Amino acid sequence: MLRTVERRCWTAIAVVVSVILLRVVWIAAHVGRYRYAHLAWHGFWHTVVDPNYWAFLVALAALQWFWPGRREQRGPSLAIVEDATWFVFSTLLGVTIVVWVTNLFDTTFNRATGGWNGFNLVPYLGVWGVAIFAFVIGDFFVYVTHWLHHHTKTLWYFHAVHHSQENLNPLSDNRQHIVETIVVFAVTYVPGVALGLTSADALKLGFANLYFSAWLHTNLRTNLGPLRHVLASPQFHRVHHSTSPEHFNTNYATVFPIWDVLFHTRHKDINSYPKTGIHDQTFPHQVKASPQSMVAMFVRQTIHPFKLAVKRVPKYAGVDKVPEPTISSLRTVGEDHAATLLTRT
């Protein structure tokens, strides 16, 4: 079953990449490369300097300084430089490739349904009501795709980039491979459009997750107390990122933990703040803070999942709970790939 899903996921990835390339060619031909470059830069700049988003990040940084989940990780580090680099490049990709793909989803949906709006609930619930309903449905779909990213080998190769962070901070959610970004935006965007929202309003649902995801990845010592039964917390999500085998394959929810409760994937640990990361000694982490190193790191980490997919690294589809690899099992590069990826968060 999972192998069939994996093959279909791999085929879908190939189709999406092909469509993106065709879209780039179309835009270059009809819009003009100079005008498009200006539009992309304009969108990128206004996203990067969004005062509301940065004020939110500063507030989270202050909170984690005074109430850190792990005190030794509250200060500056190369790991945070990595996430800052991902923030810049992910934003650039977000206002270009993701917007292209979203427009394609919108066009495809309208053509497939002939403009039919039989599921339009806006007249009954209003725009805000539909947005909230679509947000809840989208969050369930994100839970399902998150589970698949951990239990499907090919998707895990890409998702592992996100899990590679050993020093969680408010920018960590930006460390997300473009393949995964497209998948997540699709499952949050489509329900909104299907239920009657405009394309612009449905797109905002995807960006709304940026704020909550920044909160989730903050190195903050809180499990929200009684509210933990309603909303996910930094402690809840840190357990999901844990390097401890007993935490593997748990706490998949992004916003509402009820999905983990319903599908028996919620971990009972509500007080520990474990170390995070993946057991992959070959993962290309940042080595220094120079601009050249930052760009090189982003390129290497983006390419790394494709290398793993080509090599078809065996014995790992996200469900095995095995001990951490021993030093003796890491004698060669090939063995390193096969053994170190056996455990992860």
Span 139-191, pLDDT tens digits: 999 999 999 888 888 888 889 999 999 999 999 988 988 878 777 777 777 78
| Degrees, nearest 5: CA angle 252-145-320 | 60
CB neighbour list of residue 281: distance below 8 Å, 6 or more residues apart: 330, 336, 340
Chain centroid to CA 160:
10
Chain centroid to CA 207:
12
CB neighbour list of residue 175: distance below 8 Å, 6 or more residues apart: 82, 83, 86, 90, 161, 162, 164, 165
Is 230 a domain residue?
Answer: yes
Asked whether residue 226 carries a pLDDT value surpassing 50, the answer given is yes
Asked whether residue 343 carries a pLDDT value surpassing 70, the answer given is no
Asked whether residue 109 carries a pLDDT value surpassing 60, the answer given is yes
Q: Domain span at residue 60?
A: 2-340
Interval 115-141 mean pLDDT: 83
- Select the more confidently predicted residue: 331 or 86: 86
Is 141 a domain residue?
Answer: yes
- Select the more confidently predicted residue: 114 or 32: 114
Alpha helices in the chain (DSSP H): 2-30, 33-48, 51-66, 78-93, 99-113, 122-151, 153-163, 178-194, 199-216, 234-240, 258-262, 291-311, 333-340
Is 132 a domain residue?
Answer: yes
pLDDT band for 99, please (50, 70, 90 cuts). low
Mean pLDDT of all residues belonging to the chain: 76
Structural domain total, the chain: 1
- 56-60, 186-190, 278-282, 328-332, range with greatest mean pLDDT: 56-60
Among 106-120, 133-147, 207-221, the least confident range: 106-120
- 8 A C-beta contact, residue 236 and residue 218: no
Interval 44-67 mean pLDDT: 81
- 8 A C-beta contact, residue 163 and residue 278: yes
- 8 A C-beta contact, residue 169 and residue 83: yes
Is 31 a domain residue?
Answer: yes
- Select the more confidently predicted residue: 80 or 329: 80
Q: How far, in Å, CA of 30 to CA of 100, rounded?
A: 14
Asked whether residue 101 carries a pLDDT value surpassing 70, the answer given is no
Q: What is the percentage of the chain residues whose pLDDT exceeds 70?
A: 67
- 8 A C-beta contact, residue 315 and residue 342: yes
Is 345 a domain residue?
Answer: no
Interval 51-64 mean pLDDT: 89
Q: What is the percentage of the chain residues whose pLDDT exceeds 90?
A: 29
- Residue 33 has which token pair? 């490369």
Is 273 a domain residue?
Answer: yes
Interval 320-334 mean pLDDT: 35
Coil vs helix vs strand at 77:
coil
Nearest to 316 by CA among 341, 295, 280, 299: 341
Alpha helices in 217-290 (DSSP H): 234-240, 258-262
**Residues pairing with 68 in the sheet:** 220
Asked whether residue 328 carries a pLDDT value surpassing 70, the answer given is no
Is 229 a domain residue?
Answer: yes
**Angle (deg, nearest 10), helices 199-216 and 51-66:** 20
- 8 A C-beta contact, residue 157 and residue 308: yes
Q: Report the b/e string of 201-233 with b at 16+ CB within 10 A.
A: bbbebbeebbeebbbbbbbbbebbeeeeeebbb
Is 116 a domain residue?
Answer: yes
CB neighbour list of residue 229: distance below 8 Å, 6 or more residues apart: 257
pLDDT in tens, 271-316: 999 999 888 778 888 878 888 888 899 999 999 888 888 887 765 4
